[in-house]
Structure 1
Amino acid sequence: MYTPLQKESRAPATCFGSATTQDVGSSHQDGLERECPRNTDRKLPGLYGVGDPTAMFSSDSSCLSSRGKVIKWFWDSAEEGYRTYHMDQYDEDKNPSGIINLGTSENKLCFDLLSRRLSQSDMLRVEPSLLQYPDWRGHPFLREEVAKFLSYYCKSPAPLKPENVVVLNGGASVFSALATVLCEAGEAFLIPTPYYGAITQHVYLYGNVRLAFVYLDSEVTGLDTRPFQLTVEKLELALQGAKSEGVKVKGLILINPQNPLGNVYSPRELQEFLGFAARHKLHVIVDEVYMLSVFEESLGYRSVLGLERLPDPQRTHVMWATSKDFGMSGLRFGTLYTENRDVATAVASLCRYHGLSGLLQFQMAQLLRDRDWINQVYLPENHSRLKAAHTYVSGELRALGVPFLSGGAGFFLWVDLRKYLRQGTWEEEMVLWRRFLDSKVLLSFGKAFECKEPGWFRVIFADKAHRLRLGMQRLRRVLEGKSQEAEDIPPHQDPGEQH
């Protein structure tokens, strides 16, 4: 566990999302998640700041609108790592020298369990209502199962209501819809950094909403108890900083468990953050997509929906999806729970563009209601495999003398590679990232998460034993300055073949 030296407390800087530094992906979204570098030949300095970001494209010769050109720019400028990976993807039999992906946050440990469950006969049903237009909020039978599921696993003090549930095709759609219906164009959400950088696109592309960063430090200050700790004082400073620049902040985004740090907010912290938002009449979007991926029971994870009292229920909106906790990023299933009926109705209207097929809604309802399978088969085995994989990668990093943060939740370690940067610059961070990619291992670099300090990387451990072993061998080779070898060296520690 990484424990930095204490330093004097200092105010966090506030900045606005820069299109040149974010990862482009689809929400928690999917295998299209990309924390990869952008082509910075053409920057968009005004994209989240004052001014019209489309102006720089006005003279371009293209059939696209200026807005379309900005949207295309997002796609074009974030492809390097992901495109390279898919052109040379590792396959044990067909391409054993291909790239190992330790950059995309997907759980690849439980396909065997999921394929067996999803192939059972109760999942296969076709009837007219499933092939016709549904209620855009989601079929009533599915919203009822989602409400029961969240009530149980979030330990809600009172049963949650199906009418407060909206079903969409993934977390990216939830973010996009909420940003569009909660904010005017040019307004902002506060978000602590480092954070899952794809949210930048999710809130901007449809809603033209920006992000005001609450920068957190790795050094433990006088008021902190852990690295990268969020406090109400830091939120207040960031809010005032945004206001001083003439930016109207409409809400706060919290990720719990946190991506990429892997830690969880305590119930006391959650109440403090929600209280801050209530005082300033801010909406709070709480992303709980990793809530069932807490494999260290001692963390005592608590959902916002499990709190006894919410300071402002009408401005508290909770999202969850099956992409992470059930390893189904390709199925595209996300949910929103909000007690604000106007918000639910507005988001449901956008579900015309973000809805799910009736057949998938039926399957998801069957899965969520199967409490016996979830509790007795899936969750215990998933947590066991996550913990074993986490133990292996942690051991490899310790053997290398590499500091890292790990909160016992999620699929990732937040790894401190600052000592491998000769000058401690963002350029040097990219040089190291490309050295990893050249050595056939894809990682996510810290700038993609708007980390304040160059040299931090996110390493995914939720993968099969043989791929983890090979990926860590290649990572070790880069850090030890060794050249590419024909055969990979034996690992320091075996993660176990049970994955």
Structure 2
Amino acid sequence: MLSKRGAQKAQEPLRPDFELFEKAQANPYAPDNTDGAIPLCIAENLLQWPTLRDKLQSIAAERDWPDWVAAYTELAGAPDFREAVAAFVGRHIAGQQLSADHFCVSAGATAVVEVSAMVLGGPEDYAVFPAPAYQAYAPDLHNKARLRRYDIRHYEQDFGPAFHPLSIKELEAALDHLGDKFRLLILTQPDNPTGAIYSDDQLRSMAKWCTEKEIHLVVNEIYALSQFERGVDGIPNESAYTSFLPLLEEMNSPYLHWWYSFSKDFGISGFRVGLLYTRNEEMRRAYKNFNAPHQVSNITQWLLAELLNDGEWIADFQRRNKRLLTDAYRTVTESLDAIDVAYTPARGSLFVWADFSGFLSEPNMDAAQSLWQQLFEETGVLLTAPGGLGQPDAGWFRIVYSGVSPEALREAMDRLQAFFSDRT
């Protein structure tokens, strides 16, 4: 009845934790349902949604809708929106002026990954990642473009306060193994799931290597503004976040590209708005032609353009975002400290990457899967499923701290702490 690929996809869940996530959603924790489930597995930031909702509602109600929202617009995105995006990204992320013509807009981060893969690689080519890395990169790259994921599992178990990314030696080894099938190197910063960041020197060395080898380097900065307050107890203070964009502009290489989405820093994953920035004109032409079925609705583009043009409101919103994320991160890490669970010291993103390997019955992924499921069944707390991130060691789990209220997060950590305290 279905095509071969359709039949395969019908039996292949996008993520291994969706079944339990749906179960958790059917009985969520609330003030009047304090025994409900608390999912800490989906990378959403809902901490300021009421504030943003009120702002967007006022824009939609009080300002005239332009005529262009009812018609087709450019395949790269509406010009007014790309101008607003260029000003926002330039001011708040890059710290310098950017060209609106170098942006392309698609319906969410997933679409940006998928269309970029269609443009830059072919069937059986590889996108290379430092592992662990976001699990859904694999289907996003493979579903249509048919690229395969290759993880370089390079790190020692304890990241320590300073993150050491891929070395050039490790990249050379991957190139020796994959040959000309090594098409893309993809970095995420702040990282998912570790929360680590790269220094300017680290980014520069990898950008130089990729350009010399004619391999495309994409830096995904979807968590660019999801950072912590510095100088707070428990927060690493060694280095500041450095966006890849100034280096991309400086090097002006056709092999350097940048991704972003409004899903995380603004907590509007349901709006489905992602960005590509590249100086590669040929890539932009190809991207636009693939992008026709991935365009963002014009009313969404107009609404966000009006929001982004209020620069002072955006700055205040992101200052509050930083404070709320810092508080949520500390809620999780203080509970982990209490039960002697190690974790990577994050500098940003929405995650704590924690090592529960000491609680496994056996040092393997089957035991990690069993522990993950048992935790949910006994406490209602759902962490990200252990498979698919490319971690070399069993027992590491990703905890998302921004997708529930502060009260629900504290309840979840109390339950988690009690569950593991009984097993020490």
| TM-score normalised by L of structure 2 | 0.92
SS in 2 for 1:74: coil
Matching of residue 183 in structure 1 with residue 124 in structure 2: no
- Residue in 2 aligned with 1:287? 220
Residue 275 and residue 295 in structure 1: after superposition, are their counterparts in 2 closer, same or farther (change >3 A)? same
User: Do the aligned residues in 2 keep the contact of 1:271 with 1:310 (CA within 8 Å)?
Assistant: no
Query: What's 1:236 paired with?
Result: 172
Q: Is the 8 A contact 2:27 2:37 kept in 1?
A: yes
Tell whether 2:260 aligns with 1:327: no
Alignment of 1:114 onto 2:52: yes
Q: Distance in 2 between matches of 1:230 and 1:171?
A: 24
Which residue of structure 2 aligns with residue 260 of structure 1? Answer: 193
The alignment partner of 1:278 has SS state of: helix
Find out whether 1:402 has 2:341 as its counterpart. Answer: yes
Match of 2:253 in 1: 313
Contact 1:218 1:227 in 2 (8 A): no
User: Match for residue 22 of structure 1?
Assistant: none
Equivalences for 1:201-220 in 2 at 5 Å? 201-219=139-157
1:132 equivalenced with 2:68 (yes/no): no
Letter in 1 for 2:10: K
Instruction: For structure 2, list consecutive stretches of 5 or more residues without a partner in the other structure.
Output: 231-236
Q: Secondary structure at the match of 2:105?
A: strand
Retained in 1: the 8 A contact 2:103–2:276? yes
CA contact (8 A) 1:411 1:461 kept: yes
Find the counterpart in structure 1 of residue 420 from structure 2. Answer: 479
Is 2:84 the partner of 1:145?
A: yes
Instruction: Please give the secondary structure, in 2, of the residue aligned with 1:216.
Output: coil
Whole-angstrom CA distance in 2 between matches of 1:290 and 1:308: 18
- 1:387 is paired with a residue whose SS is helix
* 2:234 alignment counterpart: none
Matched, 1:91 2:24: no
Partner deviation per Cα, 1:171-207 (whole Å, 9 max, x = no partner)? 0000000001111111111111100111111110010
Q: Which runs of 5+ in 1 are unaligned?
A: 1-62, 483-499
Q: Which residue among 69, 82, 105 is the counterpart of 2:21? A: 82
Query: In structure 1, the residue corresponding to 2:259 is in which secondary structure?
Result: strand
Paired residues of 1:167 and 1:333 also in contact (CA < 8 A): yes
Select the residue among 458, 464, 469 that pairs with 2:410: 469
8 Å CA contact retained: 2:161, 2:345: no
Moved more, 315-324 or 118-127: 118-127
Contact 2:14–2:139 at 8 Å: present in 1 too?
no
SS of 1:179's equivalent?
A: helix
Quote how far apart the aligned CAs of 1:311 are.
4.2
Q: Distance in 2 between matches of 1:396 and 1:259?
A: 21
8 Å Cα contact 1:168-1:333 kept in structure 2: yes
With a CA cutoff of 8 Å and minimum separation of 6, indicate the structure with the bigger relative contact order. Answer: 2
Supply the AA of the counterpart residue of 1:448: G
Q: 2:248·2:257 contact (CA, 8 Å) conserved in 1?
A: no
Tell me if structure 2 keeps the 8 A contact 1:142–1:361.
yes
Q: Deviations over 1:129-158 (max 9, x none)?
A: 20111111111101111111122223355x
Q: In 1, distance between residues paired with 2:95 and 2:59?
A: 32
Task: Choose which of 413, 422, 441 in structure 1 pairs with 2:381.
Answer: 441
Picking from 363, 367, 373, the partner of 1:428 is 367
Q: 1:76-114: CA deviations, max 9, x gaps?
A: 773332232233333333x43221011111112112321
Correspondence for 2:202: 269
List per-residue Cα deviations over 1:441-484 (Å, max 9, x = no partner). 110144331111000001112232210111112212321238xx
**Aligned equivalents of 2:169 and 2:23: distance in 1?**
42
- The worse-fitting range, judged by mean Cα deviation, of 147-156 and 105-114 is 147-156
Q: 2:320 aligns to what?
A: 381
3-state secondary structure, aligned to 1:292: coil
Range moving further from structure 2, 453-462 or 348-357? 348-357
Answering whether residue 350 of structure 2 is matched by residue 411 of structure 1, we say yes
1:289–1:320 contact (8 Å) kept in structure 2: yes
Deviates more, 1:363-372 or 1:346-355: 346-355
Encode CA deviations 1:252-283: one digit per residue, 9 max, x unaligned.
Answer: 11101110000100000000111121121001
- 1:231-264 per-residue CA deviation (whole Å, 9 max, x = no partner) reads 2222222222223xxx711111110111000010
Q: Report the counterpart of residue 336 of structure 1 in structure 2.
A: 276
Residue in 2 aligned with 1:173? Answer: 111
Change (3 A) 1:77 1:115: closer
How far does residue 121 in structure 1 lie from its aligned partner after superposition?
A: 3.6
1:214-245 per-residue CA deviation (whole Å, 9 max, x = no partner) reads 11233469xx98566422222222222223xx
**Is the Cα–Cα contact under 8 Å of residues 163 and 197 in structure 2 kept in the other structure?**
no
* Structure-2 separation of matches of 1:270 and 1:81: 38
Partner Cα distance (1:212, 1:194) in 2: 11
C-alpha distance in 1, partners of 2:276/2:142?
19
1:445 and 1:457 in contact (8 A); partners too: yes
Q: Which amino acid aligns with 1:481?
A: D
Which SS does the other structure have where 2:152 is aligned?
Answer: strand
Letter of the 1:147 counterpart: A
Corresponding residue of 1:18: none
Give the CA deviation at 1:437: 1.2
SS in 2 for 1:401: coil
Cα contact 2:229–2:323 (8 A) shared by 1: no
Quick check: 227-236 or 384-393, which moved more? 227-236
1:250 aligns with 2:250: no
In 1, Cα distance between equivalents of 2:362 and 2:256: 43
Which secondary structure does the structure 1 equivalent of 2:270 belong to?
A: coil
Distance 1:473 1:180 in 2: 45
Number of positions where the alignment pairs a residue of Structure 1 with one of Structure 2: 412
Q: What residue identity is the alignment partner of 1:206? A: K
